[in-house]
Amino acid sequence: MTDNEQSRPVKTAATSLGILERLKTGGPLGPTALASDLGLAKSTVHRHLKTLEREGFVVLDDDGYRVGLRLLDFGIHARNQHQLYEVAKPKLEELAEQTGEKVWCVTEEQGRGFHLYGAAGKHSVRTPAREGTRSYLHQLAAGKAILSAFPDERVHEIIDQHGLPAKTPHTITDPDELFEELATIRERGFAVNREEIVPKLHAVGVVVTDQTGYPVGAISISGPSNRLKGDRLTDDLADLLLGAANEVEINLNFS
């Protein structure tokens, strides 16, 4: 499963997806700008755009082409496939209300973490994470909680596939260190993140498993480091999360 080298990819399809990707991050663009960015001929990009437009994946307005809401339809569908979303959602809102912080629900796909849903408490701070955001598991409290529930073998696969890229000086970049951390997490039941992805941002995360012990995702609470520290972080909030995760796990068995 470590093999991600594809024998013969469909280059034409990859080109279309590359255009979508570029439009997502690069705002509205025209054929000329896209062509030079992607190293393609104007006419080629134009043809792709018109095809994508026909299907609603991109739309044309005054400023150029943008990603279309057709993708929201697909995205919401992708999210609804995860039972965790619907079950965890009300619990997350409750936690956000109680703690005043930002509460997330994260799941794993292809060795990466995806933010399924976030509930904002009264005092929650703005972070780079949005719904749909894809992150490296080892950079997230929720992600490390998920990793702690995988067999070592699977964690090795993930490291092989994605590495352990750093986001801040505190990010865990050494496999051995990560495995030690995962042992600690398994022991005490929750994961802690101290400025490992965003400076001055801390978080706690707890895994949510199904009946077989497989991690279907994790929930986390994040906030400013000076508010999420000491006992509040490792006792109060961790306990709150452990209870919530436990409830979610039970509800998952009956849906």
Which of 32, 38, 36 has its CA nearest to residue 14? 38
Which pairs with CB-CB distance under 8 Å and at least 24 residues apart come from 11-14? none
Q: Does 227 bind DNA (CB under 7 A)?
A: no
Contacts of 10 (CB under 8 A, 6+ apart): none
Give the tokens for residue 101.
């912080």
Q: Which of residues 192-231 bind its own copies (CB under 8 A)?
A: none
Binding test (CB under 8 A) with its own copies, winner from 81, 212, 226, 255: 81
Q: How far is the CB of 25 from DNA (least distance, A)?
A: 18
Question: Do residues 114 and 132 make contact, with C-beta atoms less than 8 angstroms apart?
Answer: yes
Question: Do residues 225 and 154 make contact, with C-beta atoms less than 8 angstroms apart?
Answer: no
Q: Does 16 bind its own copies (CB under 8 A)?
A: yes
**Residue range at the interface with its own copies (CB under 8 A); choices 108-116, 163-171, 209-217, 242-250:** 108-116
Residue placing its CB nearer to its own copies in the complex, 39 or 130: 130
Q: Does 87 bind its own copies (CB under 8 A)?
A: no
Q: Of DNA, its own copies, none, which one does residue 114 interact with (CB within 5 to 8 Å by kind)?
A: its own copies
Q: How many amino acids of this chain bind its own copies (CB under 8 A)?
A: 53
Q: How far is the CB of 143 from DNA (least distance, A)?
A: 26
Binding test (CB under 7 A) with DNA, winner from 40, 59, 120, 164: 40
Residue placing its CB nearer to DNA in the complex, 64 or 118: 64
Contacts of 51 (CB under 8 A, 6+ apart): 16
Question: Do residues 228 and 119 make contact, with C-beta atoms less than 8 angstroms apart?
Answer: no
* Binding pattern for the stretch 35-64 against its own copies, x by CB under 8 A and - elsewhere: ------------xx-xxxxxxxx-x-----
CA distances from 141 to 95, 116, 135 (A): 16, 15, 11
Q: Which of residues 64-103 bind DNA (CB under 7 A)?
A: 64
